[in-house]
Chains A and B, each alone.
Chain A
Amino acid sequence: MSSTPASSGPAAMPKTKGAGLSDRWFSVLLIAPAMLITLIFAILPLAQALDVTFRMGDLSRGKIGDYVGLENYRVVFADSAFWQAGWVTLKFTVVAVGLQMILGVGIAFLLHGATFAKGLTRSLLILPLATSAAVTGLFWRYLYDTQFGVMNWVLGSLGLPEPNWLGDYTIALWSVVLFDIWQWTPFVALIALAGLQALPKEPFEAAELDGASRWRILTTLTFPLLKPVLFLVLVLRTIDCVRLYDAVAVLTRGGPGTATETMTFYLYRTGLKLFRMDYASTMAVFFLYVMLVAAVFALTPLLKQFTDRAKEA
């Protein structure tokens, strides 16, 4: 800690006479408002959710009721709709994140070599990120319209089959994926591009002097150096896709049938449509647990980077 007298090197703040608070108390005071809010509004709801998972909680019949032990967990894990929703979420996440990574990195390479209208291309690419999925997602229904939509007009003009984007249960999930690709591929592209531009020049020059092939440079230099950035993007996108809600809510409402019912949407339906708070909370707690495990993997490198800099500076 920089507050201990032992480390009074460049890390410690110089002390002034008569300063009432120690560094330690000062630093704690600074985080107090934020901590208080986080503790109250993160821990309290979570504690409440956890509590409900052990009780009867059918709000359509009244209040949260008696304790039933692990009964809710048994019911949820035996519920085929829960696993079905998990399967839909998995399919969505793997395909959407996979395609976004491939397309995004491809676009980054494409833009990295381009010198013309750099600012403009970047500005245009950012636009989907600024829009709300709930608003643009709704408008995409018009693009997907089987009769008046642009999508099918383009496909029809090219002589290709015209799918029923949101109505056909074999296709609907991929239509949501396409929307997510539209909104989030620019995110991957922009960050990969920033990573590419931050790469050190020297190793590449040395490799070229040695006569290394382009492919070899790409696989032994570029990608290994980009790995930390790409890993971060991958994790952030995965977390967002697993908890996808907005796009499903406005594009398909989980339908047709339950073809696009993701975990979050199923959770929403049991909790706020059927008012089964007990099952919904049990799923939420399970879901949260999975996300926290993912968060540990995602955040540890990032955290280390920050704390190292906070200590050294």
Chain B
Amino acid sequence: MQRKTSVIIEILRYGTIFLVLGFFVFPIFWMVLTSFKPEGAIMVSPPQFFFTPTLENYAHALFDKNFLFYIKNTLIISVISTAIVVAFGSLAAYSFARYNVGDGHILFFILSTKMMPAIAVILPYFLIFRDVGKTAIGKSLHLGLDQHGALIVSYVMFNLPFAIWLLVSFFLDIPRSLEHSARLDGLSRIQVLRKVTFPLAAPGIAVTAVFTLIFCWNEFLFAYILTRKMASTVTVGVESFFTLQGILWGPVAAAATISVAPMLIFVLVMQRYMVRGLTFGAVRG
């Protein structure tokens, strides 16, 4: 009797898990499936699960809509932003973790800027970049509206707090004794950082980099407001598939699949670290 009920419970459990996963995976599955559908299989009722796959949507997105241009912009902006965030963030995080600089107050200030809704500062950002873009320095650094520099600066600003917090949690995990003995061996503080601490923190730094990259890649509001055409990223590019005739779902699905795929792969690779990253290092997954 006991045995029978536990079997029923297990069947119920896995059945429910299957349904739950189905709900979360289906929209992405459907998006990928739609991207391979010929036009005649998209705007039909009932929805088609079987069809002859085609690459015409990808061709439309990549060649007619020049989606590679948005990918290129996104890549440039995300990679440069991530590099700056990780470089500055690691130094600052090390200082917080080892020297407790500011006794929590500065750290609090930095993370509190992460809680700031982007929309609250988007108007000043818009005005600042509009004006800075007209100056000589602004021109040489591409800081004007619809230029890469403006988005890079915004992304650095909005991802630094998060990166610092995550990195602090990783640095705290590294035992101090190793640095102590390196110091006693006569290494300077900078040498200790370079030769002992950063190599040990490399996995944590990599995780932070991937998280920052994902956030930059997926960002929409800044890209939407601060760019028009030349510096637009994939999230804005997908919007350009709205036409007067309506939305071209096939090409939208293809473009969406292309823009989402790299991040899906990243996330699968670093599945183990997702929880830690998403909770600012507070919960270890």
Chain A window 21-52, contacts with chain B (Cβ cutoff 8 Å), 1 for yes, 0 for no: 10110111011011101100110111011001
Dominant SS at the A interface?
Answer: helix
Give chain B nearest CB distance to A149 CB in angstroms: 8
Residues of B within 8 A of A298 (CB): 115
Cβ of A198 and Cβ of B284 under 8 Å apart? Answer: yes
A-B interface contact total, Cβ < 8 Å:
333
Residue tally, chain A, CB below 8 Å to B = 112
CB distance from A34 to the nearest CB of B (A): 4
Chain B contact-residue range equals 35 or more
B153 at interface (Cβ–Cβ under 8 A)? yes
Q: List A contacts of B284 (CB < 8 A).
A: 194, 198
* Cβ contact within 8 Å between A30 and B91: yes
Pairwise interchain contact A136-B27, C-beta atoms closer than 8 A: yes
Between B220, B221, B224, B234, the greatest number of chain A beta carbons within 10 A of the residue's beta carbon is seen for: B220
**Binding site of B, secondary structure by majority: helix, strand, loop or mixed?**
helix
Evaluate contact between B112 and A295: CB separation under 8 angstroms. Answer: yes
Inter-chain CA distance A177–B183, complex, in Å, is 55
Cβ-based interface call for B137 (8 A):
no
* Contacts A246-B220, A271-B123, A285-B120; A186 near B24 (Cβ below 8 A): yes
Whether B278 and A191, one on each chain, are in contact in the complex, defined by CB atoms closer than 8 angstroms, is yes
B45 CB contacts on chain A under 8 angstroms: 147-148, 153
- In angstroms, Cα B117 to Cα A107, docked, is 29
Q: A26-B189, A34-B110, A291-B115 are in contact. Are A249 and B224 (CB under 8 A)?
A: yes
Cβ of A281 within 8 Å of any chain B Cβ, yes or no, is yes
Contact between A132 and B217 (Cβ–Cβ < 8 Å)? yes
A245 at the B interface (CB under 8 A): yes
Min CB–CB distance A163 → chain B (angstroms): 16
Interface residues of B in 18-34 (CB under 8 A from A): 20-21, 23-28, 30-31, 34
Question: How would residues 158 to 195 of chain B score, 1 for a CB under 8 Å from any chain A CB and 0 otherwise?
Answer: 00110011001100100110011001101011000000
B73 at the interface (CB under 8 A from A): no
Measured CB to CB, the nearest residue on chain B to A141 is B247
Pick 6 A–B contacts, CB within 8 A, sort by A: A27-B99, A130-B218, A135-B259, A287-B119, A310-B98, A313-B175
